[in-house]
Structure 1
Amino acid sequence: MEPRTRRSFFPSSIYTVFLILLNLAAFSVAVVDAKGLVLVVLSLMYTVHMRVQLTQREEQRRTNELLEELLDGSGPLPRG
C-alpha cells in the first residue's frame, strides 16, 4: 500500500485551477454588481458538483487498484 503523501498547498489539477478562477471571477462580479450574487451561488454549486465527481472518480480508481491487487495475489481471497 502506498504511504499517504502530504497534500500540497498549490492545486495539482487543471480542474481545481479552473474552479478557483471561476469562483474568483464570480466574486469579483458580485463585488461590482449585486446581481453577481446569483453568479456566485451558481459557481459555488458547480464547484461542489465538480468536486464530488472528482472525488468519486478518485475513489473508483483506488478501488480498482485494490481489486487488481487482490486478484493478482496467488492466495485465496481474505474473509472478513
Structure 2
Amino acid sequence: MVGKRGRQGFREMVAARRASLLRFGLEAEKRSYLSQAIETYQYLLNQYPDSEEGRRAKLRLRELGSASQGQRPETYGQSGLQGNRRS
C-alpha cells in the first residue's frame, strides 16, 4: 500500500516527465527536427491527453500540420506556447 507521500511523489514525477517531454519536443522543433518533434507531441497527446502538456502538444501538431499544407507555422514563442522556459 502506498502512502500519501508516495502517491504525491508519483504525481510529481509524472508531471516532471510530461514537462520534460514537451520541452524536448519544442527544442526538436526549434532545431528543425520536425519528425522527432511530431513523434514526441503525438506521444504526449496519446499518453496524457487531458494534461496541459497534452493540450499544448495538440496545438503544436496543428501548427505543424498547417505548415505541411503550405502555411507557415508559428514558432512556439510567437503563439504564446513557451510556457515555463528557463532563461
Structure of larger gyration radius: 1
Q: Answer yes or no: same fold by TM over 0.5.
A: no
What's the TM-score, normalizing by structure 2? Answer: 0.35
| Length-normalised TM-score, structure 1 | 0.38
Higher relative contact order (CA 8 A, sep 6+): 2
